[in-house]
Structure 1
Amino acid sequence: PSAVLVPPVSLQVSELGLEGDVLPVPGDHPASRNRFLYTGGALHKLPSGLGGLLRPVPPFSRALLWSGVRDLLAPAGTEPDESVHAFVHRRFGQEVADIAVDSLCRGVFAGDCRALSVRSCFPVLFKAERRWRSVLLGLALGSGKERRAESGLSRRARAERWSQWSLRGGMESLAEALAAFLRPRGIELHCHAPLRRLRRHPDGRWQLTLADSTVMADHVVSALPATALAEVLPAEAEPLAQELRCIPAVSVAVVNLQYEGVTLPVTGFGHLVPSSEDASLLGIVYDSVAFPQHDGTGATSVRLTVMLGGAWFGQSFGDPAAVAPALLLQRAQVAVREQLGLATAPTRSIVRVHQACIPQYTLGHWQRTERIGRFLEEQRLPLSLIGASYGGVSVNDCIASAKAAVGQLLGPLH
């Protein structure tokens, strides 16, 4: 429902005429300033400002200033890749790795920081260390890259320091506006039409077999999850399929709860939960704080999104395809009662299990994507791979990868 606004997305929002529907969350908003961790059976506000760096702030046992000093003094790593946890432990210490970064990876990737690759998940941090020997120094000095073309909307977002944004009709309206833009321009949209098979025709074109029709294409741009694409490729592309099958994805249960006549004990974006506290519960987002425009009722409405499972789905709930929604709803309500003190029953709830929805960039992911790129180039396959399986899992990343793929096909003027 929300994301940081960057040029590729802001340009698309502007081009689709949605600027008037944008709901920003500026830098001085409580949802921007206040973020929490739930650990040790209590909520803790993440440190901010100079005071939070100079003195110990729970759940950390000592001032985070010392973690910064450690990074400035530590030598640069020499391994071509390492886990996010190992990288942060080496540069900032065990507490930052075990509590803060463990929680961050659960919130962003629904994944285990001990298995995720720092080079692929947080390339800015990896490159900062390699270039400047210190992550903090590298972040302060910047990458040296020129700023990309911006829209008026992205300039406004930067000036007001937006931490999040959404649309009045929810993020779904972005896809709806895109479809409405394409249809009058002669673009065929086959919605809810699974791809059954992808084969090369003797004339070099692709033949796409759908559930009820066949489509011929000169070039295919695939945003399918890597493992799904692997299952429809032709036999001659088996080396590519093998690489794609090695990009796993985790399942996440999303439970939306709405309460009336209650108040939250804190005001902010939400809270994350480290795996050491409760592996099954990733975190809770306080949706009504950032976007009260979506409440749909009175001012006393509280909307929450409870995220469950991720890399721990199987051990916590069993098979994502077979888990009972009632079990997930009960688990979410217990978490809200224990961690936020909301003991009343919600007036509305929605339970959804998103199976294999977030790709996991495990160690060596960068080598895997390089091998995939080499295979496509060597075989001269008219196939472009975009989407969350390769170079970033966010909406921003997916739109940027699509624009880059089209730019390679049509040239920079497009």
Structure 2
Amino acid sequence: MTTTAVLGGGISGLSAGYYLLRRFGKPLTIYEASPRVGGWIRTEWHKERGFIFETGPRTIRPKGVAGANTLELVEQLKLPVKPIRSSHVAARNRMLYAKGQVCMLPNSPKGLIATVPPFTKPLYRALLHDLTTGGTVAKNEDESIYSFAERRFGKEIADYAISPMICGICAGDAREISVRFLMDSLFEKEQKYGGVIKGVLYSRLNKNEDKDKDVDRPIDEPSNLYKQAVQEKWAMYSLTDGLEQLPRALRKYLGEHDVNVQLSSRCNNLSFSSDGARLGLRNAELPVSHVVSSLPAYQLAPLVRQQHPSLCAQLLEIPYVDVVVVNLQYNSDQLLKQNGFGLLVPPVENLPVLGVIFDSCCFDMAGNTILTVMMGGKWFEQWFGHQPSQKELRDTAQQHVRKILNIKEEPTFSRVHLLHKCIPQYTVGHKRRVQQIRDYIRNYKLPLSLCGAAYDGVGINDVILSARRQVELLPMPQTH
């Protein structure tokens, strides 16, 4: 028995299969509960009309170690890429809907000096606030990203810059999300030097300090695609024919290399012994030597409850939110007054909409205007209750598109998706929680590795790198 089992056929599970195959070349099987691979990545093609709908992520950023790692994977799979360079309008223009108007966020140093709505003071004043505010009251292990931003840069930055950004990334409430989710290095600089700007300047002068944490150093020799992305200044990219090409290509590659991807195969129990693990699948128990779980924490928890109730309880401490995605297609490409990537809505505006993405500004959609409206998140139940109808969700999205973007036309075509428990929330203390979960697994010597959005970052780059790093931690088999 040398089989490794991967639970979950989303992008992290498929990536785990890919890296296991390349590292060990041993037999392995991926078990996916649903009838398709890809998890939340889903592209809907409307080729006859020249557009696509993305119901999950649509672009990938090529930055840092994680970005370089994904580009290496994309290159190895020979996938055609659609880049957006940093000079493109979708990379330059990002907007907020606040105080009853669409506001363009500053995109150059000049924007720091002027007063731009919704802010009532020039943004350089927020930097001065950080420089003139004393050090931390007490050394903190963690705090909310909202309280950190408010403390260092003032309430306006927390309300109109940080809070909407958190809505855009994880559909969460910045007052609950850990500062270590996005601003770990800034938080550590503040803790060490008594201020963010001071910390950034000191570490610039003392370059060696951040060598070990260098986020721009790829894992291996950078791939040609990564070098191209740097040279051509890509801000983000997608794949020709949409992002679902990535999980599909991974599945095809795995199939060609004798990796068994079993769809509609839900694992309903997981138990461990000194010589491996046993998976409960339908009516069978299957012995395996190691399990890599890319399942959401709340799905893994009940599988281990019987044998490891405290591990189950720790996993259930990671909360998730529901997000509504409404794709809208209009027969004209002249509807938007202002082009850009899209807009975010700060929670202080008290609207059900988290943001609107202007898909047809990012990529050519053959004369159509394509918008994606995202709603709910942390505030889903407050706005929509328990079981909203598709019509109710569609009507809410269209009503706010009319109000915010002044688009009077009715969409020709639309799709509504309710993504239940789709994004984990890295609430205050998350880093410690994940460490405790992994310590438990190590202390009990469980043949179990955890990767995916619940642990090491919620973006596509994060979950792919999470899979790779967990596979690389596995010991190579002893050769006699």
- TM-score range normalised by the length of the shorter chain: over 0.9
Instruction: Give the one of 333, 347, 350 matched to 2:398.
Output: 333
Q: Gapped runs of 5+ residues in structure 2?
A: 1-57
- Runs of 4+ aligned structure 1 residues displaced above 4 Å come to 137-140
**Which amino acid counterpart does residue 456 of structure 2 have in structure 1?**
G
Task: Name 2:234's counterpart in structure 1.
Answer: 162
Q: 1:213 to 1:254 in 2, by over 3 A?
A: farther
Instruction: Give the one of 21, 27, 30 matched to 2:89.
Output: 30
Task: Name 1:246's counterpart in structure 2.
Answer: 317
Task: Name 1:399's counterpart in structure 2.
Answer: 464
**Which amino acid counterpart does residue 375 of structure 2 have in structure 1?**
L
Task: Name 1:227's counterpart in structure 2.
Answer: 298
Task: Name 1:273's counterpart in structure 2.
Answer: 345
**Which amino acid counterpart does residue 116 of structure 1 have in structure 2?**
I
| Alignment deviations for residues 328-381 of structure 1 (CA, whole Å, 9 cap, x no partner) | 100110111111111111111111000000000111112211211211111000
**Which amino acid counterpart does residue 314 of structure 1 have in structure 2?**
E
Deviation of residue 74 (structure 1)? 2.9
Task: Name 1:112's counterpart in structure 2.
Answer: 173
Deviation of residue 72 (structure 1)? 2.7
Q: 1:352 to 1:213 in 2, by over 3 A?
A: farther
2:243 aligned with 1:178: no
Deviation of residue 70 (structure 1)? 1.7
Q: 1:395 to 1:277 in 2, by over 3 A?
A: same
Q: In 2, Cα distance between the equivalents of 1:306 and 1:234?
A: 37
SS at match of 1:236: coil
Deviation of residue 56 (structure 1)? 0.9
The alignment's TM-score, normalised by the length of structure 1, stands at: 0.93
Instruction: Give the one of 353, 365, 383 matched to 2:418.
Output: 353
**Which amino acid counterpart does residue 370 of structure 1 have in structure 2?**
Q
Q: In 1, Cα distance between the equivalents of 2:282 and 2:91?
A: 45
2:126 aligned with 1:56: no
User: Highest relative contact order (Cα 8 Å, sep 6+), 1 or 2?
Assistant: 2
Structural RMSD (CA):
1.6
Instruction: Give the one of 149, 161, 175 matched to 1:100.
Output: 161
**Which amino acid counterpart does residue 244 of structure 1 have in structure 2?**
L
SS at match of 2:474: helix
Task: Name 2:128's counterpart in structure 1.
Answer: 69
Q: In 2, Cα distance between the equivalents of 1:172 and 1:410?
A: 32
Greater displacement, 310-319 / 191-200: 191-200
Deviation of residue 88 (structure 1)? 0.1
2:266 aligned with 1:194: yes
Q: Gapped runs of 5+ residues in structure 1?
A: none
SS at match of 1:377: helix
Paired residues of 2:331 and 2:369 also in contact (CA < 8 A): yes
Greater displacement, 310-319 / 227-236: 227-236
SS at match of 1:63: coil
Q: 1:105 to 1:352 in 2, by over 3 A?
A: same
Percent of matched pairs sharing the same residue: 37
2:77 aligned with 1:16: yes
| Alignment deviations for residues 139-179 of structure 1 (CA, whole Å, 9 cap, x no partner) | 56373345123211112222333222100121111000001
SS at match of 1:266: coil
**Which amino acid counterpart does residue 44 of structure 1 have in structure 2?**
C
Instruction: Give the one of 91, 101, 104 matched to 2:152.
Output: 91
SS at match of 1:232: helix
Instruction: Give the one of 17, 29, 39 matched to 2:98.
Output: 39
Task: Name 2:49's counterpart in structure 1.
Answer: none
Q: In 1, Cα distance between the equivalents of 2:405 and 2:449?
A: 45
| Alignment deviations for residues 272-322 of structure 1 (CA, whole Å, 9 cap, x no partner) | 001111341100000011111xx2xx32x1001000000000010012xx2
Q: In 2, Cα distance between the equivalents of 1:129 and 1:404?
A: 28
Q: 1:274 to 1:234 in 2, by over 3 A?
A: closer
Q: In 2, Cα distance between the equivalents of 1:405 and 1:61?
A: 46
Task: Name 1:374's counterpart in structure 2.
Answer: 439
Number of equivalenced pairs: 401
**Which amino acid counterpart does residue 393 of structure 1 have in structure 2?**
V
Task: Name 2:375's counterpart in structure 1.
Answer: 308
